[in-house]
Amino acid sequence: ELRIDPLFEHEIQERFTRRGIKMAPSNIKQAAIIPSATAIHNARGTAPGWWVEKGGHILVAMPGPPGEMHHIWHTEVLPRLQQRATGAIIFSKTLKIFGLPEGTVGELVSPLLSSANPTLGVYAKADGIHLRFTAKAKNQKQAEKMIDQGEARVRSILGESIWGTDNDTLASVVGHILAEKGLSLVVIEYCTGGLLTATITDTPDSSAYFKGGLIACSSEALIAYGVTAGLIDDCGAISSEVAQAM
């Protein structure tokens, strides 16, 4: 037997309202949970997770999309389990930096690297440099407050070089800016197999701003999309000049 969680029913309705889409009655089932479960908030999607305690055991069910599952695990499930196990929680927050090398970032934040609680680590990743704060406290609110102080110092040092936090991706941050400004996006790709489009559409609610894309796999296709044959001959199909013409 399933019951509808009224809080999550309201959240689902709000998501559709913000996107200007009429919600189908079938979407309500995403707010359904079993009677023994407590709903786990899902900030990245419409379906909640489930938290069930029975017979001295804890059962957790999370939505399947990786972006939603990872976010729920790190922000909701893991802190609860840690608090049960130790009487304290370990909470982390990551700041993502672009445009500065690892060594430079390390030097700029070096006064904070000796802190014992929260700790601060510097990591080189595919999307830039990550600064990860980790705090241990009695509860998440206290841990967040400890990290907030360090984060404020880092933001005063690095400023606009910080482009996101935690599970943010470049695609999700750009999408948020587009949605905020009421702008839309279309793309044309060459020899990517649709990788850029896939990256964009992997972000929840991307349909609010992404209108579609074209994938070209030959010079003939580029010409059909408006690139001149002369430019392709002079510069090559894979060139900045052709990319600008696209």
- Residue 21 or 127, more confident: 127
Instruction: Reply yes or no on whether the pLDDT at 85 is more than 80.
Output: no
Torsion of CA 184, 188, 192, 196, to 10 degrees: 0
Q: In this predicted structure, what is the pLDDT of residue 60? A: 94
Structure tokens that stand for 152 in this block: 């404020």
Q: Is 133 helix (H, G, I), strand (E, B) or coil?
A: strand
Q: How far apart are the first and last CA of the chain?
A: 54
Minimum mean pLDDT among 25-29, 93-97, 148-152: which range? Answer: 25-29
Domains in the chain with CATH codes: 1-87 (3.40.980.10), 88-166 (3.30.70.2860), 170-245 (3.90.950.20)
Q: In this predicted structure, what is the pLDDT of residue 205? A: 86
Tens of pLDDT along 162-209?
999 998 999 999 999 999 999 999 998 988 889 999 999 988 889 899
pTM to 2 decimal places: 0.61
Distance CA 138, CA 90 (A): 9
